[in-house]
Structure 1
Amino acid sequence: MKPAFELLVFDWDGTLMDSVEHIATSLAAAAIDTGMEDLGQQRYRDIIGLGLKEAMQALYPEAGEAETQALCERYRYHYVEVNQVRSELFHGALDMLHIMRGKGLKLAVATGKARVGLERVFADTGYGELFHASRCSDESGSKPQPHMLHELMQELNVEPDKTLMIGDTEYDMAMARNAGTHGLAVSYGVHDCQRLQQHDPLACLSSMEELSGWLHAHTA
């Protein structure tokens, strides 16, 4: 029997918002500013989903604390101040979220963004009112640690077997497994299905249309 989900937890960048290129470009600019090697767009895309500090440490393990901090600061500068083109939700995402809320499901966000970054997006777009709760990497710990999901489930009083984590990276799927929840993967963001399926998601979907259809079919 299919699980009767009560809580849908969405990753943000690459799952709901089409912001992967914006992030990767800002990471490259931060590297150039601080005299680090430009590792290329694919390498920068690959670590999207981790907390910012954890991402910089993965990209530049040789960097000291001061260099890592400088990379983070320059990334924030480029992401917020230099690149003024606002990222948008993937086509169909907003309708899908409204439909899921209309079904009476609880919706939440678990993101590698810092709290200030997520709140900036919510303030700019008004999308924050769609979600019952949210957690960010700088307040709960970076993916694939389970802390964000544990805290969301506790806050919203939902058990792991009634919780579905939806994301586009292996970090999302590993977090779901570590937290004892279900995982649902999407491949239109960062990681491909072959990589995502290593973490045993319920399915791997290739478009927002497929995601919306799957959720509609698997929720009451």
Structure 2
Amino acid sequence: MAKAFDLIVFDWDGTLMDSTAHIVHAIQAASRELGLPVPDKNRARHVIGLGLVDALRYACPELEPSHYQEMVAAYRHHYLAGDHAIELFDGVREGLAELRDSGVFLAIATGKSRVGLDRVLQETGIGEFFDATRTVDECHSKPHPSMLEQLTDQLGADVRRTLMVGDTTHDLQMANNA
């Protein structure tokens, strides 16, 4: 039987790693720290998958552009303070191994920074399963299709035989845009 897909691309946060609540908490804590209105959980959760500046622009619309880097630093401080406790979803390692053994290419398209993705791949030990990765440092933020376009080009995969696996509308929109 022919395989249905040549390439499966995964989002990271909320898809492979159970980090949603931690990200929401870090956005809310950074907002409090900077004296901004604290976004509710739904507003903070909606930005997961976007690049950090785009995410903060939406989650904290009162934030002046001149203070974006201050907010980014505060967010990273709060996120990194507890990210060692975040775990992969149950079955991720086994599922990736099974997919890899089936001969399909595996990749990651994430709103994380390159440093952040490399760190969690090292910490979780699952970097070996992926043939390629793209971060917001290297491409436009989701929902722009550049992450998927670059991954399919690099791996010689047809975008029509590529599956995007994610947990947000940003992931779905990126796939549709590609």
TM-score tier after normalising by the smaller chain length: over 0.9
- Give the letter for the 1:59 counterpart: A
**3-state SS, counterpart of residue 8 of structure 2:** strand
- State the distance in 1 between where 2:72 and 2:9 align: 26
The answer to whether the 8 A contact 2:57-2:63 is kept is yes
The answer to whether the 8 A contact 1:18-1:87 is kept is yes
Tell me the residue number matched to 1:130. 129
- State the distance in 2 between where 1:85 and 1:118 align: 13
Summarize deviations over 1:15-52 as a string: whole Å, max 9, x none: 11101011111111111111111112222111111110
Tell me the residue number matched to 1:57. 57
TM-score (norm 1): 0.77
- State the distance in 1 between where 2:21 and 2:122 align: 21
The answer to whether the 8 A contact 1:3-1:162 is kept is no
How far off is 1:85 after superposition? 4.2
- State the distance in 2 between where 1:158 and 1:109 align: 14
Q: Gaps spanning 5+ residues in structure 2: where?
A: none
Question: Which moves more between the two structures, 98-107 or 62-71?
Answer: 62-71
The answer to whether residue 116 in structure 2 is matched with residue 117 in structure 1 is yes
- State the distance in 1 between where 2:24 and 2:63 align: 19
- State the distance in 2 between where 1:167 and 1:125 align: 19
Tell me the residue number matched to 2:166. 167
The answer to whether the 8 A contact 1:13-1:19 is kept is yes
Tell me the residue number matched to 1:46. 46
Tell me the residue number matched to 2:9. 9
How far off is 1:126 after superposition? 1.6
Tell me the residue number matched to 2:104. 105
**3-state SS, counterpart of residue 141 of structure 1:** coil
- State the distance in 2 between where 1:45 and 1:61 align: 15
- Give the letter for the 2:19 counterpart: S
- State the distance in 1 between where 2:154 and 2:148 align: 10
How far off is 1:84 after superposition? 5.0
Q: Gaps spanning 5+ residues in structure 1: where?
A: 180-220
- State the distance in 2 between where 1:128 and 1:105 align: 15
Tell me the residue number matched to 2:86. 87
How far off is 1:96 after superposition? 0.7
Summarize deviations over 1:155-184 as a string: whole Å, max 9, x none: 0010111111011100000000000xxxxx
Runs of 4+ with >4 A deviation: none
The answer to whether residue 44 in structure 2 is matched with residue 29 in structure 1 is no
- State the distance in 2 between where 1:3 and 1:168 align: 23
TM-score (norm 2): 0.95
The answer to whether the 8 A contact 1:19-1:87 is kept is yes
- State the distance in 2 between where 1:22 and 1:59 align: 15
Higher relative contact order (CA 8 A, sep 6+): 2
Tell me the residue number matched to 1:74. 74
